């Protein structure tokens, strides 16, 4: 009962706040995140009233199934952006920009934090922490970006190239993170293994893409046997659940770890399905409408996960500020420089980097991994990521909206003259 009450309160709070903040022209994502903080353990949760908010962070974590489902649908939707017809126009540009801006962000964060390492000393900021935070800097939040695009019905050159880049960011981020984590373990006293640095991440990426492609192909075959829209929608939900569930499998063969990325599996499933199924656009449209409530709950839960107590640690705040500034500079400069190199339109060169600033799910997932593997050092890294996510998720969606508006992809609603309606 408490679980259902908390879900109801969370969704109602998110929707109510989005209504109240609509006059301030805030994106819905920002409103949902703020609502999550309000119903989270640090505000309403302090009252310890069953069902009225989330009473502790363990209770928030128990809703991980909702988050897994939401991220699966988000990745599945992003996969539809990789249609062959669209990739023929922007595929090469999106790939080059995605890799370049991600690596630029990693480089600048590494340099900035290593410089801070010499000021603070290895006890407060080890080199291994600098390397891992640099890898986490690659990740962009596809959920926040997709929500802003859908809410304002953004359409144009910037939006067309933005969605594939956001999707590719995760693939690049997984490789960089795995390599950096292996090197960081060597700095922390472990052994530098070629398998852990190069082989494991490549197996994860290739395995995820193959699994997603197989499920997408099966989905396109099975879908033809159902004519009812409701059954086709149900089948889409079933396959996203299959993707998310199967991606949790993990095998160890000798020193080789075989795992899968849920985001990549779901994204590849959506890509293959949309390129093989003739009526995929209709199904994707219906799926997006059905998943609206799931997205609301996902962002409210994400807001509830933000631990504001990280502000109490000045070291975390200081390192977090350097991380945010250097990552932002890397994303903006890297996107602008590579877009110019690929001869993209001026609006893309100018505003693309700003739309890549939001950071949440993938970065938080990486921080959970290092917290489990690096002990006290990992806990500090998680707090730094939590601090940056708090800033990025509250400010990032607003900046994305502003950039898309300035680029002309978000157009103001036409004002209807009342005189015209009466004549």
pLDDT tens for the chain, residues 1 to 423: 677 888 888 888 889 988 887 777 666 777 887 888 888 888 887 777 776 777 777 777 777 777 778 878 877 877 776 777 666 666 788 888 888 999 999 999 999 999 888 888 777 788 888 888 988 888 887 767 777 887 788 888 888 888 788 877 777 777 787 777 777 776 665 555 666 666 777 777 788 889 999 999 999 898 888 878 788 888 888 998 999 889 888 877 776 777 787 777 888 898 898 888 877 777 777 777 777 788 788 878 877 877 777 677 787 788 889 999 999 999 999 999 998 988 888 888 888 888 888 887 677 767 766 776 777 777 778 778 878 877 887 788 888 888 888 888 887 765 545 455 455
The pair of three-digit structure tokens given for residue 200, joined into one six-digit string: 């494991």
Question: Do 240 and 72 meet the contact criterion of CB atoms below 8 Å apart?
Answer: yes
Location of structure tokens 């000798």: 254
User: Packing angle between helix 262-276 and helix 64-79, nearest 10 degrees?
Assistant: 40
Question: Do 240 and 294 meet the contact criterion of CB atoms below 8 Å apart?
Answer: no
What pTM was computed for the model?
Answer: 0.72
* CB neighbours of residue 124 within 10 Å: 14
Q: How far apart are CA 34 and CA 311, in angstroms?
A: 16
Closest CA to 341 of 92, 88, 158: 92
Alpha helices in 121-156 (DSSP H): 127-136, 142-151
DSSP string covering 226-252: ---HHHHHHHHHHHHHHHHHHTT--EE
Q: How far apart are CA 394 and CA 36, in angstroms?
A: 11
Which residues, in sequence order, are CB contacts of 50 under 8 Å at separation 6+?
Answer: 1, 2, 5
The pair of three-digit structure tokens given for residue 97, joined into one six-digit string: 């920009």
Distances in Å between the Cα of 75 and the Cα atoms of 101, 293, 368 are 20, 16, 20
The pair of three-digit structure tokens given for residue 65, joined into one six-digit string: 């199934």
Q: How far apart are CA 421 and CA 409, in angstroms?
A: 28
Closest CA to 303 of 45, 21, 29, 47: 29
């Amino acid at each position: 009962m408490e679980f259902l009450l908390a879900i109801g309160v969370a969704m109602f709070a998110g929707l109510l706040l989005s209504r109240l903040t609509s006059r301030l022209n805030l994106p819905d994502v920002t409103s949902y995140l703020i609502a999550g903080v309000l119903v989270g353990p640090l505000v309403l949760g302090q009252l310890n009233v069953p069902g009225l908010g989330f009473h502790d962070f363990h209770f928030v974590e128990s809703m991980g199934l909702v988050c897994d489902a939401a991220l699966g649908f988000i990745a599945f939707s992003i996969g539809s952006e990789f249609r062959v017809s669209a990739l023929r126009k922007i595929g090469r540009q999106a790939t080059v920009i995605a890799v370049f801006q991600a690596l630029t962000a990693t480089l600048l964060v590494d340099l900035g934090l290593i410089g801070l390492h010499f000021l603070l000393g290895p006890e407060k900021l080890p080199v291994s922490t600098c390397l891992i935070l640099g890898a986490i800097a690659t990740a962009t939040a596809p959920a926040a970006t997709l929500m802003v695009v859908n809410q304002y019905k953004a359409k144009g050159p910037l939006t067309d190239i933005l969605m594939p880049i956001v999707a590719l960011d995760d693939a690049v981020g997984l490789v960089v993170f795995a390599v950096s984590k292996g090197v960081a373990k060597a700095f922390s006293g472990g052994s530098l293994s070629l398998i852990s640095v190069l082989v494991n991440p490549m197996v994860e990426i290739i395995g995820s893409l193959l699994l997603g492609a197989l499920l997408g192909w099966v989905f396109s075959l099975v879908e033809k046997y159902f004519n009812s829209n409701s059954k086709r929608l149900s089948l889409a939900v079933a396959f996203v659940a299959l993707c998310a569930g199967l991606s949790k499998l993990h095998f160890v063969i000798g020193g080789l770890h075989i795992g899968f990325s849920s985001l990549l599996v779901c994204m590849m499933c959506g890509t293959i399905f949309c390129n093989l199924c003739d009526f995929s656009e209709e199904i994707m449209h219906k799926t997006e409408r059905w998943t609206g409530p799931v997205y609301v709950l996902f962002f409210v839960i994400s807001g509830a996960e933000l631990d504001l107590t990280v502000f109490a640690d000045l070291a975390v705040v200081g390192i977090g500020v350097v991380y945010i500034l250097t990552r932002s500079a890397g994303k903006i400069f890297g996107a602008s420089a590579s877009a110019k190199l690929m001869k993209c339109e001026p609006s893309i060169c100018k505003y693309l980097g700003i739309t890549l600033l939001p950071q949440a799910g993938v970065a938080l997932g990486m921080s959970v991994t290092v917290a489990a593997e690096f002990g006290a050092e990992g806990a500090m890294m998680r707090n730094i990521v939590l601090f940056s996510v708090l800033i990025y998720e509250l400010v990032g969606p607003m900046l994305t909206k502003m950039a898309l508006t300035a680029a002309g992809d978000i157009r103001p609603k036409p004002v209807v003259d009342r005189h015209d309606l009466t004549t």
